[in-house]
Structure 1
Amino acid sequence: MKRIKKLLAENKGFLFFLFGMIAVRSAVADWYGVPSGSMYPTLMIGDRIIADRLAYDLKIPFTDVIVKHIADPKRGDIVTFSSPESGDRLVKRVVGLPGDIVEMRGEQLIINGEKATYAAADGNVATQLSPDYSGRQLVLNERLPDNEHPIIVMPERAAARSFGPVTVPEGQYLMLGDNRDASKDSRYIGFVKRELITGRVKHVAFSLDTGKYYLPRSDRVGVSLQ
């Protein structure tokens, strides 16, 4: 016991620093590595992203207890949240807001009766294909009410391409992955309660190419996300 007390006393500065870093990650800003292709072409496997945990709420560290409401998620926001199914931390895009009537017909989203429009993407984003699928991939710009962003569809892959119409309950959100046919999102795990949303992702900090011996992707440093 004396040895433990001595060890704590000798390292209290480091322990306070460590506790402070954990508290910051819990309440202010957290960082994650992207492990899957569910958000291609926006987020790539190997991206390191920072989630602003103060974007929507001030919470008690290490809990989901909200101390102060700051803002509400908007359509098109990329957010981190705890899965209502498993509790795992996920990153998806907000598509349906509370009260919205959302449906999908053959990949086309319809929100409150307004159909999303689609066009072939161009530029660098059009080359950012999911590496874990060898079939045909189409990179499109999806234009929703108040938001436009790129998505990938995989016409030859079995996927949930139609649902609804469903009404998003009060205090909940409908999330979809940008890699539309390779994402476990609200089509499978249901709506996401407001208190489960933990932060907003607006930038890639840096990225490591897992297919090339984890070499840095210089063009991904500080990339702003749509």
Structure 2
Amino acid sequence: MGFDFELILAVAFLVTGAFWVFDRVVYYPKRKEILDNMATEARDVLHKDAQQRLAETPKFVAEVKSYFVIIAVIFCLRSFVVEPFQIPSGSMLPTLKIGDFILVNKFDYGIRLPVLNTTIIPTTQPERGDVVVFKYPLDPSLNYIKRLIGLPGDQVSYHNKVLTVNGQQVSKDLLSKLSISLNPSREPVELFNENIGGIEHEIYNSYRNTPHEGDWVVPEGHYFVMGDNRDNSADSRFWGFVPEENMKGRAFYVWLHWDEFFSIPSFKNNGLIE
């Protein structure tokens, strides 16, 4: 199982919120009454911690509930507005590099309940060509990022490194033959400019045989995704379709690149994600 930060943050929000409500109901009225009866000069010189002790508020309660506002702001922003992710693998090369820190729009595909990921307010639908973040169907505690290739009802084919959607070949133009790619495997690749859904982006194709070919029909309520590093990506060709309820949002911006812990972060990759 992966490290489910979303679940941990939700639990922290609920726990600190419960302590905040408990303090508000039990101890706040007592503190307010004591402070209202004090002289203004005496009240002004009291430190905030001292004010908490006026009504014999337990230190543990005061400590836990003090984090509620901070956690609530982070929780709401991360759940409903924008969420940060780090790219851990090379499956989306050359679009996204290992160590890129990205931002994901959380309301593009509907306002969803945290953790459950159930849509409560529909907005727009995912579009072919979007770079999407979703919960990995085989282990929902993991987040994956790929490019959306097939919408519900689409017929997708991939043979001899040629991608076809609904009988039409997705256009790609050779940009260069690279001797060595940025893949951890360091294998030679060709760099192409691909156009799908009107979105132009770069992809890699290796010189070796295509690892997995086939024909797929995308079921209703599901999506077909692939990595831009076409021959080095575990995606829908291997483990199947992404259910709609697993979609988390659209990746739209790279804001930082950090290769490893002891390296110096940089902003060389900053920009919108195409």
- Please give the range of the TM-score, normalised by the shorter of the 2 chains: 0.7 to 0.9
> CA offsets per residue over residues 30-58 of structure 1, 9 Å max, x none?
11111100000000011000111111111
Q: Which has the larger radius of gyration?
A: 2
SS at match of 2:185: coil
Displacement of 1:12: 2.5
Q: Given residue 73 of structure 2, which amino acid in structure 1 is its aligned partner?
A: G
Q: Given residue 20 of structure 1, which amino acid in structure 2 is its aligned partner?
A: V
Tell me which residue corresponds to 2:59. Answer: 6
Tell me which residue corresponds to 1:176. Answer: 226
Distance (whole Å) between structure 2 residues aligned to residue 110 and residue 84 of structure 1? 24
Alignment of 1:218 with 2:267, yes or no, is: yes
| Runs of at least 4 residues off by over 4 Å | none
Distance (whole Å) between structure 2 residues aligned to residue 75 and residue 15 of structure 1? 39
Distance (whole Å) between structure 2 residues aligned to residue 65 and residue 116 of structure 1? 32
Give the number of the structure whose residues are more often helix, by fraction: 2
> CA offsets per residue over residues 136-175 of structure 1, 9 Å max, x none?
1111112234332211111236621x211x2111111100
> Would you say how many aligned residue pairs link Structure 1 and Structure 2?
218
Give the number of the structure whose residues are more often strand, by fraction: 1
Q: Given residue 112 of structure 1, which amino acid in structure 2 is its aligned partner?
A: N
Contact conserved, 2:99 with 2:257, CA < 8 A, in 1?
Answer: yes
Tell me which residue corresponds to 1:139. Answer: 191
Contact conserved, 1:23 with 1:61, CA < 8 A, in 2?
Answer: no
Contact conserved, 1:116 with 1:145, CA < 8 A, in 2?
Answer: no
Tell me which residue corresponds to 1:77. Answer: 130
Tell me which residue corresponds to 2:93. Answer: 40
Distance (whole Å) between structure 2 residues aligned to residue 62 and residue 174 of structure 1? 23
Displacement of 1:197: 0.3
Unaligned stretches of 5+ residues in structure 2 = 1-55
Displacement of 1:11: 4.9
Q: RMSD over aligned Cα, in angstroms?
A: 2.4
Change in CA separation of 1:8 and 1:167 when aligned onto 2, cut-off 3 Å: same
Alignment of 1:163 with 2:217, yes or no, is: no
Change in CA separation of 1:11 and 1:203 when aligned onto 2, cut-off 3 Å: same
Distance (whole Å) between structure 2 residues aligned to residue 114 and residue 158 of structure 1? 20
Change in CA separation of 1:151 and 1:128 when aligned onto 2, cut-off 3 Å: farther
Distance (whole Å) between structure 1 residues aligned to residue 179 and residue 104 of structure 2? 25
* Residue range with higher mean Cα deviation, 145-154 or 86-95: 145-154
TM-score, with structure 1 as normaliser: 0.87
Q: Within 5 Å, give how 1:109-128 maps onto structure 2.
A: 109-121=163-175
Distance (whole Å) between structure 1 residues aligned to residue 57 and residue 90 of structure 2? 45
Unaligned stretches of 5+ residues in structure 1 = none
Tell me which residue corresponds to 1:202. Answer: 252
Distance (whole Å) between structure 1 residues aligned to residue 129 and residue 234 of structure 2? 17
Contact conserved, 1:40 with 1:129, CA < 8 A, in 2?
Answer: no
Change in CA separation of 1:127 and 1:26 when aligned onto 2, cut-off 3 Å: farther
